Structure 1
């Protein structure tokens, strides 16, 4: 009996001695490191009354003068909608601003306005960066104030988690800015 007790005592002491190590500290959650190829822009010429440069790495579909720019690797789509101005520029501007502020203020942490003015090409507009877990992270409108009006917004087909999709958001936002910067009216 004494021998068996000694074996158990030695076993317990050995386990205690070898198990004494540094405290186990949980590791923080990691995020994916997302990298995308450098964009390659090409002019998009259409039968519509506008043209602009688009990332040739994205896929384009269109109906009439409304375009969808698909980014399959990012699970994102930029929706471009063109409208002809019929003495209703105020209503079109109000609708574009309502889309930004009324639909996104509940989930957005902040909305940053970035005015865009290119008097040489008669392109005027606003680019909105939406921070937080909103449905869209960027929107814009562009107009010449008399004949043409275009809106654009990006939607990711994933649960909004701003930190996780930040690299993809930045990539697509840069493409959307490029569309505004290269926009010309016919």
Structure 2
């Protein structure tokens, strides 16, 4: 009787293992976190500073002394820093400093793309930099009217630079920064 029970048990196990699994089990590929952000809506920002611009309505702006600003993106753990400087026979120094700040990231950057910006109607001239790779900042720009005003702007994330992981947020904020630069106007 014990021998029959063991035989039935072994046959049952064999049958279950042969007919129980129809598909081969494969390991799942590793996946990445998908970050989707809402489409940006822009609002006009103006105060007593000598310039105005449009910014993302989801961002939080904080004023600092001398018309400097921080635009915070809490969901993306990033801040856009805007620095204003008056031009007083120092345009060459301001341009050199802005370019130097960008090219300090060349050590970690895979490449730096330069995009000139010219808005003759509103006298806004500048350069937009897209920094690709594991640099501390992924986008920067400066704008000036060449005679009275100079602004430089950059984004920093509160995380160790890893371009692959911050790329969706970096791309989103880069678009916001381009919109900010293109909408910037000097007050008369």
| TM-score, with structure 2 as normaliser | 0.86
Aligned pair partner of 2:88 in 73, 86, 89: 86
Shift in alpha-carbon separation, 1:171–1:81, aligned structure 2, 3 A: same
CA distance in 1, matches of 2:143, 2:125: 5
Output aligned runs, 1:153-164, within 5 Å: 153-164=154-165
Output aligned runs, 1:9-158, within 5 Å: 26-64=27-65, 65-102=67-104, 104-158=105-159
Query: How far apart are residue 29 of structure 1 and its match?
Result: 2.5
Query: How far apart are residue 170 of structure 1 and its match?
Result: 1.1
**What's the RMSD between the two structures over aligned residues?**
2.3
CA distance in 1, matches of 2:75, 2:91: 36
Unaligned runs of 5+ in 1: 1-5
* 4+ aligned runs moved over 2 Å, structure 1: 12-18, 20-29
Match in the other structure for 1:166: 167
Query: How far apart are residue 27 of structure 1 and its match?
Result: 3.6
